[in-house]
C-alpha cells in the first residue's frame, strides 16, 4: 500500500554525464509527481557528480570509492579496503536516511549503496543505460528487485523476470529547443549549416584532434561549428579555433544548453555513450557515431550498432576517425536527402516515456513494501 509519509529515495552512482544526467532525470520526475519526496544522491568523491548534482538542486554525499585500474597499482591493492569502508558508510547513510527504495545508475558509488540497501531488505532498482551491462550491475542483478534497461536482449546479462524495457531517461527539455532561439543563443547564422561535435562530458581526444585538423575544411565549405571539447582539452581547442571565430567556429568547454545545441545542429558527430545515443534518438538528429575504444567490453560500439543496423546513424571507428571522419561529415552535411532518411529512422528508436516508466516501477516497488 502507498506510504503514509513522503517517499524517501537514495539515488547512487555517477562518474560521467552518462550516469549523472539519467539519475537527475529520474529525480526530477519523482519530484514532479511527489513534490514532498526526499531525495538523496550518493556519489564518489572527486567525480563530476559532486558538482553536477548540487547544480541540479539536490543534496549529495560522497564515498571514497574508485574503480579498478587495468594494471597493478597501489590503488588496486587498496580497492577491497575502499569497498569495505564505502559499504560501511553507505550502511550508516541508509540507517540515518531510512529510504523507502534505492536506485543505482551505475558507476563507482552504486555498488556500496546497493549492497548496503539489499542486505537490509530495502527495495532496489537498477537502471542500465548501455547495450552491454556494466560490471556493478551484473554483479548485483540477483540482489535487486527491478532492472530497467534501454535495449532488447538484456536477458543475457540479467534475470529475465526482473527486466523492464524502458529506454534511457533523458532530460525532457532536450528536444524542446527552437532553432531560432538556438541560433541567437550561440550567435550563429541562419544561412549556414551547423555541425555539432560532442565528445561526452569528459571530452574525447580523437574527436578533438580530428576536428582541429578539419577547421580549414569546415571554413572552406561554409560550415559553422559548435565544438564541445571537455575541460581537459578546452584550452588548446580554444586556441586552435580562435583564428576561425569570424566563420562561426566555436570551441566550448561544456554545453549547458544541450537543448539549444541540438536545435541548432543539422548534423551531429558524437561518441556513442548511452545518454548521447538516447538524446540523438529523441531529438531526431542525423549523426555520425565514433565509439570510444576506452570503455569496458567495447560497449559504445554495441550502442552505436543498435542504430546503424536500423539505418539510423553512421559509424566511423576511432581508429579511422583521423582520416575519414570529416570526409563523412562533409558528405552528410551536403546531402539533405540522406539527412532526412537518418532523421526519420532514428526518431523511431526514441523512448520518450523512459523516465516516466522508470518512476512508475520505482513507485510500485515502494508501494508494495
pLDDT of amino acid 262: 97
171 is in an annotated binding site: yes
- Closest C-alpha among 13, 5, 338, 32 to residue 172: 32
- Compute the distance between CA of residue 162 and CA of residue 164 in angstroms, rounded to an integer: 7
Instruction: Return the residue matching grid coordinates 566511423.
Output: 316
336 is in an annotated binding site: no
- Hey, what's the torsion of the CAs at 103, 141, 160, 40, to 10 degrees? 0
345 is in an annotated binding site: no
18 is in an annotated binding site: yes
- Compute the distance between CA of residue 159 and CA of residue 126 in angstroms, rounded to an integer: 12
278 is in an annotated binding site: yes
- Compute the distance between CA of residue 330 and CA of residue 222 in angstroms, rounded to an integer: 10
Residues paired with 39 in a beta bridge: 9
Q: How far is CA 45 from the centre of its chain?
A: 19
Report residue 209 as a C-alpha cell.
Answer: 584532434
- Closest C-alpha among 33, 16, 96, 107 to residue 63: 107
Residues paired with 267 in a beta bridge: 195
Helices (H), the chain: 17-33, 49-55, 74-97, 110-118, 135-140, 179-185, 205-221, 234-241, 258-264, 274-283, 299-308, 321-333, 336-347, 354-368
Using only C-alpha atoms, the chain has a radius of gyration, in whole angstroms, of 21
Residues paired with 268 in a beta bridge: 196, 287
Instruction: Return the residue matching grid coordinates 548496503.
Output: 116
111 is in an annotated binding site: no
Helix (H) or strand (E) holding 146: strand 146-149
300 is in an annotated binding site: yes
17 is in an annotated binding site: yes
Helix (H) or strand (E) holding 195: strand 193-198
Task: Enter the DSSP assignment of 131.
Answer: S
pLDDT of amino acid 335: 98
Helix (H) or strand (E) holding 104: strand 101-104
For the chain, 369 residues long, the average pLDDT of each consecutive 10-residue run is 77 83 93 96 90 94 69 51 80 96 90 94 94 85 95 92 93 87 97 93 86 98 97 94 97 93 98 92 97 84 94 97 98 98 96 93 92
**How many C-beta neighbours within 10 Å does residue 301 have?**
21
Domain ranges of the chain: 8-170+352-368, 173-347
Candidate CATH numbers 3.40.50.720, 3.40.190.10, 3.40.50.150, 3.40.50.2000; the one for domain 173-347? 3.40.50.2000
Does 8-170+352-368 match 173-347 in CATH topology?
yes
279 is in an annotated binding site: yes
With H, G, I as helix, E, B as strand and everything else as coil, classify residue 168: coil
Instruction: Return the residue matching grid coordinates 548540487.
Output: 54
pLDDT of amino acid 124: 97
Report residue 64 as a C-alpha cell.
Answer: 571514497
Candidate CATH numbers 3.10.110.10, 3.40.50.2000, 1.10.10.10, 3.40.50.300; the one for domain 8-170+352-368? 3.40.50.2000
61 is in an annotated binding site: no
Report residue 82 as a C-alpha cell.
Answer: 575502499
Report residue 156 as a C-alpha cell.
Answer: 543475457
201 is in an annotated binding site: yes
Q: How far is CA 75 from the centre of its chain?
A: 26
119 is in an annotated binding site: no
274 is in an annotated binding site: yes
Report residue 181 as a C-alpha cell.
Answer: 532561439
Phi then psi dihedrals of residue 175, to 5 deg? -105, 15
Amino acid at each position: 500500500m502507498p506510504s503514509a509519509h513522503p517517499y524517501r529515495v537514495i539515488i547512487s552512482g555517477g562518474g560521467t554525464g552518462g550516469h549523472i544526467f539519467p539519475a537527475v532525470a529520474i529525480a526530477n520526475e519523482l519530484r514532479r509527481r511527489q513534490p514532498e519526496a526526499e531525495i538523496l544522491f550518493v556519489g564518489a568523491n572527486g567525480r563530476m557528480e559532486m558538482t553536477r548534482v548540487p547544480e541540479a538542486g539536490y543534496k549529495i554525499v560522497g564515498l571514497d570509492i574508485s574503480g579498478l585500474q587495468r594494471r597493478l597499482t597501489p590503488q588496486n591493492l587498496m580497492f577491497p579496503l575502499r569497498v569495505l569502508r564505502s559499504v560501511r558508510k553507505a550502511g550508516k547513510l541508509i540507517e540515518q536516511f531510512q529510504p523507502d527504495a534505492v536506485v543505482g545508475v551505475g558507476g563507482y558509488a552504486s555498488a556500496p549503496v546497493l549492497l548496503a540497501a539489499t542486505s537490509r531488505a530495502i527495495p532496489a532498482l537498477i537502471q542500465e543505460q548501455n547495450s552491454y551491462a556494466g560490471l556493478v550491475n551484473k554483479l548485483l542483478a540477483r540482489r535487486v528487485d527491478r532492472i530497467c534497461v534501454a535495449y532488447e536482449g538484456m536477458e543475457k546479462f540479467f534475470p529475465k523476470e526482473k527486466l523492464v524495457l524502458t529506454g534511457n531517461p533523458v532530460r525532457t527539455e532536450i528536444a524542446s529547443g527552437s532553432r531560432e532561439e538556438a541560433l541567437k543563443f550561440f550567435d550563429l547564422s541562419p544561412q549556414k549549416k551547423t555541425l555539432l561535435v560532442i565528445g561526452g562530458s569528459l571530452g574525447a581526444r580523437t574527436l578533438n584532434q580530428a576536428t582541429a585538423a578539419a577547421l580549414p575544411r569546415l571554413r572552406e565549405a561554409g560550415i559553422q561549428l559548435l565544438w564541445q571539447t571537455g575541460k581537459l582539452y578546452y584550452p588548446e581547442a580554444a586556441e586552435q579555433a580562435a583564428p576561425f571565430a569570424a566563420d562561426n567556429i566555436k570551441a566550448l568547454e561544456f554545453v549547458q544548453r544541450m537543448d539549444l545545441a541540438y536545435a541548432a545542429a543539422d548534423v551531429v558527430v558524437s561518441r556513442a555513450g548511452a545518454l548521447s545515443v538516447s538524446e540523438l534518438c529523441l531529438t531526431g538528429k542525423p549523426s555520425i557515431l565514433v565509439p570510444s575504444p576506452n570503455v569496458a567490453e567495447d560497449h559504445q560500439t554495441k550502442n552505436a550498432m543498435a542504430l546503424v543496423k536500423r539505418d539510423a546513424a553512421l559509424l566511423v571507428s576511432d581508429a579511422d576517425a583521423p582520416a575519414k571522419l570529416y570526409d563523412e561529415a562533409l558528405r552528410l552535411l551536403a546531402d539533405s536527402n540522406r539527412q532526412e532518411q537518418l532523421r526519420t529512422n532514428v526518431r523511431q528508436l526514441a523512448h520518450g516515456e523512459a523516465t516516466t516508466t522508470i518512476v512508475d516501477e520505482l513507485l510500485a516497488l515502494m508501494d508494495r513494501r
